[in-house]
Structure formats: C-alpha cells, structure tokens
Amino acid sequence: MPDLYLIIVILLFVLAISDLIVGVSNDAVNFLNSAIGSKVASRNTIMIVASLGIFVGATFSSGMMEVARKGIFNPEFFYFSDIMTIFLAVMLTDIILLDFFNTIGLPTSTTVSIVFELLGAAVVMSLIKMTSSGQSILEMGTYINSSQAILIISGIFLSVLIAFAIGAMVQFLSRLIFTFRYLEQKLWIGSIWTGFALSAMTFFLLFKGLQGAAFVTDEFLRTIEDNLLLLLATAFIFWTAFLHLMAKNGINIFRIVVLFGTFALAMAFAGNDLVNFIGVPIAGFESYLSWNQSNISPSEYNMSVLKEPVRTQTYLLVLAGLVMIVTLWFSKKARSVTDTEVNLGRQEEGYERFTPNAFIRGIVRSAINVGQISQRVLPKSVIDSTGVRFRPLSLPVADRPAFDLVRAGVNLTTASILIAFATSLKLPLSTTYVSFMVAMGTSLADRAWGRDSAVYRVAGVVNVIGGWFATAIIAFSVAGIFALLIYFFQISAIVVLITLAVVFIYRSFAYHRKKDEKKQKRLTFEQSNEMLDVEILTSRLTNRISELIKDLSDMYELTLKGIVDEDIAIITKAEDAIQSMLEKNENLEYELFQSIKRVEEKDSEGSRIILYVFDLEQDLVQSAKLIVDAGSNHLRNSLSPLKEDQINTLSEVGDEITKYLQTIAYQIVSADTVSNNEDTTGKVAILELLEVHLSAQVEGIKEEKYGARNSQLMFRILLESKDIVAVASRFVKLSRRIHQPGQKKQYYSFSKKN
C-alpha cells in the first residue's frame, strides 16, 4: 500500500511542524527563565537574543538524528511497515503530551517524552513480532537497545538531585559574596565572578552548543579536549579583563552574563534538542525513500539502512529554526510554562498556584526543625551577619523582578557547567530537568522560600517532578496503544487518532485562553501601583458585588430547575456555575491583602469595607455551594423524587428569590439612596415565606408525608436560602451607605445582626 505510507510520511512532516510548536513552547523555559525573571532587559530584547541563539543553533545543528534512528531500538530487526507504525504513533503521542503540559503550564522534558514514546511503541511492535513468530518474551533485548535506554533514563533522573544540590550551594556562596547590593561591591570582585561565569558558558558552548555541528570535525573536537585547560584559562583572562573594562565604564556586567547565558542555552537547545522534534519525521522520510526504491513488500523490507549515519539537509534545519523562533515570539503557552518556573523561584510572596498536602507539610516542617536546630548550634554572631547579607532590597512593585541578576547568572552558569560536563563525559541528561532544578536550588538557598511561601513552593516543585514521572509513564503507554491501533486498523485508526489530536489541542487551546485571561487580570492588579480612592473603590466593589449577585441568581435558578425536573444535565450546569463562582473568589485572602494595600492611607474605612465585602462574598458562595451539592447528591444517588407539594414549594421559592436577587443587583448598580430603614427589596416577605414552608415541611414529617432524604434536601435548600436572602440584603445596605454623601461611614461590623 504505497499510498498509505506516502500519507504517513506527509503526516509525519505536518506533525513535525506541530511538534516544533508545542515543543518549543515547553522548552523555552530552559533559556528564558533567568532573563525574564531578573528583568535583565525588555522582553523584546530578551526574545531577540534568544531568537539569535535558536537560529544559530538550528543552522549548525547536528544532522545525526541517532536517537530516533537507532538509539532506542535495533532497526535491523524491524520491517518498513513496523518502523512507520512506530514513528507515526510517536509523533501523535508527542504532540498531545507536550500540548497537555503546555496547557497546564508545567515544564517537562522533550527528551524524556521522545525516548519513552519510542520505547513504548517499539516494545509493542516487538511483542507483536515475537508473538507472531512464536518467540519468547525473554528475547525482547534483541529488538530493544536496552543498555542505551537504561543509560539515558538513569542519567536523566540522576541529574535532578545533583542539579538541585549544586545550584543551592553555588547560590549560597554567591549571595554571601555579593549580597543583594551586588553593584556596590568592588569592581575586581564582580569582574572575576562574571569572568568565571562567561568562561563556564564558553566551555558549555564548545562542548554542547557546537558538538556534532555539521561544520565541526571530530579532529577539531579532539583538539579542544586536548587543550581544554589552556582554552579555559585563556577565556577566563580575556573575559575578566573585558568585563572589568566594561564595569569601569559604568556598564552593568551582570546583565552581559545573563544575556550571554540566554544566547548560549538557546543555541544549545536548538542545536541538540532539535532531534526531539524533527528526528522522527526525517528518519521516516529516509525510510520511505529507501523502501520505495526497493520494490519489496513493506512487511518484508528490512530497515538496516537506519543504522547508517545520515546528515540532515541544511535547509530543513533552517526552516525548523524559523518555526521555533516564530513560536517563541507568539506562543502564550510558552509564557505560561515560563511563568510557572519564575513564580516558584521569585523572591517575594504573592499568588501561589499550587496547593500543599500532608506530605508537603511534613517536608517543610522537618526543614524548619532542622533550621531551628542549626540556629541553636551556630553562634549568634554568625547567624546575624549571614542574615544581613541575605536581606533583599525594597523596590516598587512595578519595578521589582522575581529575582536579581546574581541569581539569574548563577542559574545560567551552573546549568551550563553541569550540562557541558555531562556532555564531555558522554552522559545523557535532560536540559529541562537540569535548568529547572538548578533554579529551584538557587531559590531555596536565596531564602526565597520563606515561612509564608515555602509550603506552596515545595508543593509546586513536587508537582513538576511528579509531572516528569508522569511524562515517562504516559509517553510509554500511549505510544504503545497508538502503535497497536495503527498496526491492526491502519487507515481507520490513523483518521481517528488524528481527529482525536485535533480535538484535544483545540479544547486545550480554549481552556488555556480562559485561564490566561484570568491570570492577566490578576497580574494587572498585582503589579499596579494605583491607589484606590473612595470613587475608584466604590466603582470596583459595586461592579464586583452586582456581578456576584447576578451569577448567584442564575446558579440558584438552574439548581432548583434541575432538582424539580430530575435532570442531571441541568444540575451539572449548576455545578459548573458554582465552580466558576469559586474560581472568581479563588485565593480571596491574598486578594484581600492586595486590595487593602492599595487603599489611600487617610481612608481607614476603605480597608474595612473591603474586608466586609469579602466576608459577605464568602458567605454567599458557601451557601450557594451547599445547595448545589445537596441537589447534585440527591439526583446522582437516584434518591426518591420530591412530592408534588415540595415541588410546588421549590417553584414558588425559586421564583421569588430569583426576582429578589435581580432587584438587589439593580439597586446596587443604580446606587439607590432610599433610607436604610426602608425594605425596598422585599426581604421580610421572602423570609416569612421561607418560614411558612419550613413549618409546612416540619408538619409533613410529623404526618409521615415526606421521607428522610427528601426532608434533608428541602431543609438544606430552605435554610441556606434564608442565609442567601439575609446576606444579599446586607450588600444593599452597604451600597446605600457608600453612596449617601455626608453620612458617617461605618462600613464593617463583625456582628451581622443588622
């Protein structure tokens, strides 16, 4: 079926472009994290430097796509049809997997994903071949390059601990030397430190950035290795002298280190990780050309040709580099992944995305106990002098970077040294794992994980590491399943899997866009230096309250309709509505703190009104959630339907409370100035109505008209409805007090009787 395999080759190249996009979106964190986190330059400048690194790295990239061709499996034991099945399964899995991690904003390793995808698909195809030929499973080693696979896997995961420990140690020593006032240190100290950093990155470029480049011969690499110490000494002297001269002329040499490191890591990424994205399609194309000239059946054509090294055409590398650069500039998912790492390492407190569990709390508590023991053992003079050197500078919120240039330089230098050293020893490792763990180690040593943030930061690190293990497991399993489906169902399976990938990516795009809008709104508020005077405060809170009341009205109406109609689909919509309300009120305590900070100093009552509003919001959302949960549990557990008079009660109550909430929303927006003593909302009448129905429910129980489950549901709805009515009415009183001129503003009281 030549047409089928031609289609597969075309699909591989289409998928290669998609894989470049999702892959760069995830791997961009490796070289952008330090520059963006430290605000070394404008974002455009950082992107230009990274783009140049990517273009150079891609242009001079190694054409030796060995991992895809023979690094994981032995191609001489597979036929052409087997290889194409493996390659297509790998590419489909890689796109879905990396896009998933991009969507949730977690960095993972494109190297690990491609290795385990190749391994999973190859293992499944090997099992099929062994089963059909009657071979024992013990002969799996004939098909799979197990020693190479184990070496890659062990090297990758071992790098995690080493990178974290060394990153923490180097940052601790660097901070002791420079403190946070690094620009005030003597010029020769900064020149030596930055000279060493750039020498290390030069070493990195020689061993990692240029390794395997098409224009670099083996003799040239051996010459570098034989004269390594001389080259490094020369580089150190040159860079130190050059940077000292720059510093004397008023140039911030730490910025040079960070920008140079960004270029170096971007170049190495493009030059060496390009195989993760286009290695499989190129190997598939070469396989197709070889088979197409053979006139042999695809199920009989042996793929020994993949054992031979082949150089990739330069134009393909340039095109791949251009796709990577465009993605880098325009991918919002790349920003999400970068933001995750930057936020986990930032010096200041702020919005924390990750939630700790008992295991995380135990780790933090143990670390605190060790720290307390150390404080008792070490002399107080040592502790005090060290503490002074780790005291951050106080900067305006808008100008405050996530971390300073010293830590950014340590991140880049340490990662470069570790990657280059492992490369010189021919040890495989993941640049993502090394870069991330170095950044986490430096943030720990820099005391960025304080008592108020440590538990959340550790939770984030554990979540990311857990995602790495999930990458390996998912990649292996899904690629194996896809290979199995493609082998047995061929074109039908391909159509279904392509459709699945398109639908998944479309849905993830919509989800990420919604999440990104929420994040941008929060960041705009956090980074604003705008003070909230009475008018601004009134406008913002009025709109916020009105929107909440409207959402509550819609959710309440949906819930009662779902219960009355016994329609799980409707109750599911109500659950989505309450979840949306919960998300809007996410991290209320931190937002409360930020809002109060923005209130003008002279307006002490402004802070109290914010506190009152947030308190009432929590009460409303809590009551709404209890009603939705009660209705959902009743329907999903298939409990007895409500009696006719109970249904009539809910219909009446629902209509009245919906009208009531709509009235309140209108009065809040219109700034009604009617006296606080006048009930224009109809609160009293609705509360009396609820009391009547509660009494009727009690009488019905005594008369054995209602069952226990029905009664529990009715009581939950009616009692929580009373709370909603009472809390909502307090919003109206609050709004009147805000807008009435000349009245003494006593916005907040912990007593809610009024």
The three-state DSSP-derived secondary structure of 392-436 is CCCCCHHHCCCCCHHHHHHHHHHHHHHHHHHHHCCCCCCHHHHHH
Answer for the pair 31, 432: CB distance below 8 angstroms, yes or no: no
Does residue 665 lie within any of the structural domains?
yes
As a whole number of angstroms, the distance between CA 475 and CA 94 comes to 7
Buried b (16+ CB within 10 A) or exposed e, 525-558: eeeeeeebebeebbebbbeebbebbbbbbbbbbb
* Contacts of residue 641, Cβ cutoff 8 Å, sequence gap at least 6: 566
**Do residues 490 and 573 both lie within one domain?**
no
**Do residues 562 and 609 both lie within one domain?**
yes
Question: Exposed/middle/buried for 469, CB within 10 Å: 0-12, 13-18, 19+?
Answer: exposed
**Do residues 517 and 547 both lie within one domain?**
no
- Sites in the chain below the pLDDT cut of 50: 1, 63-65, 529, 531-532, 603, 673-674, 741-754
As a whole number of angstroms, the distance between CA 127 and CA 140 comes to 8
Task: Tell which of 462, 492, 521 closes a domain.
Answer: 521
Does residue 748 lie within any of the structural domains?
no
- Angle between helix 405-424 and helix 187-204 axes, rounded to 10 deg: 40
Does residue 268 lie within any of the structural domains?
yes
DSSP 305: G
Answer for the pair 638, 644: CB distance below 8 angstroms, yes or no: no
Question: Tokens in use for 698?
Answer: 């009690």
Does residue 750 lie within any of the structural domains?
no
**Do residues 211 and 325 both lie within one domain?**
yes
**Do residues 515 and 537 both lie within one domain?**
no
Give residue 112's pLDDT.
82
Answer for the pair 408, 41: CB distance below 8 angstroms, yes or no: no
Does residue 40 lie within any of the structural domains?
yes
Give residue 266's pLDDT.
85
**Do residues 484 and 582 both lie within one domain?**
no
* Contacts of residue 159, Cβ cutoff 8 Å, sequence gap at least 6: 418, 422, 429, 430, 433, 434, 437
* Contacts of residue 587, Cβ cutoff 8 Å, sequence gap at least 6: 351, 352
Does residue 746 lie within any of the structural domains?
no
**Do residues 516 and 550 both lie within one domain?**
no
Query: Which structural domain, as residue segments, surrounds residue 540?
Result: 531-739
Report how far Cα 718 is from the mean position of its chain's Cα atoms. 41
**Do residues 556 and 459 both lie within one domain?**
no
As a whole number of angstroms, the distance between CA 486 and CA 342 comes to 40
Question: Tokens in use for 253?
Answer: 């040499």
Does residue 171 lie within any of the structural domains?
yes
Question: Tokens in use for 364?
Answer: 């933090």
Does residue 243 lie within any of the structural domains?
yes
Please report, for the domain that includes residue 600, its CATH number. Answer: 1.20.58.220
**Do residues 91 and 46 both lie within one domain?**
yes
The pTM (predicted TM-score) of the whole model is 0.74
Task: Tell which of 469, 494, 521 closes a domain.
Answer: 521
Task: Tell which of 498, 521, 544 closes a domain.
Answer: 521
Give residue 591's pLDDT.
59
**Do residues 406 and 539 both lie within one domain?**
no
**Do residues 505 and 598 both lie within one domain?**
no
Give residue 58's pLDDT.
78
What own/partner pairs with CB < 8 Å and gap ≥ 24 does 668-671 have?
668/542, 668/545, 668/546, 668/549, 668/731, 668/732, 668/735, 669/542, 669/543, 669/546, 671/542, 671/735, 671/739
DSSP 680: -
**Do residues 454 and 550 both lie within one domain?**
no
Distances (CA, A) of 52 to 224, 416, 432: 24, 18, 20
DSSP 65: -
Answer for the pair 280, 12: CB distance below 8 angstroms, yes or no: yes
How many CA atoms, within 13 angstroms, populate the side-chain half-sphere of residue 444? 24
Distances (CA, A) of 499 to 19, 478, 494, 679: 16, 16, 8, 58
As a whole number of angstroms, the distance between CA 219 and CA 225 comes to 10
Q: How many domains does the chain have?
A: 2
Give residue 593's pLDDT.
61
Answer for the pair 100, 509: CB distance below 8 angstroms, yes or no: no
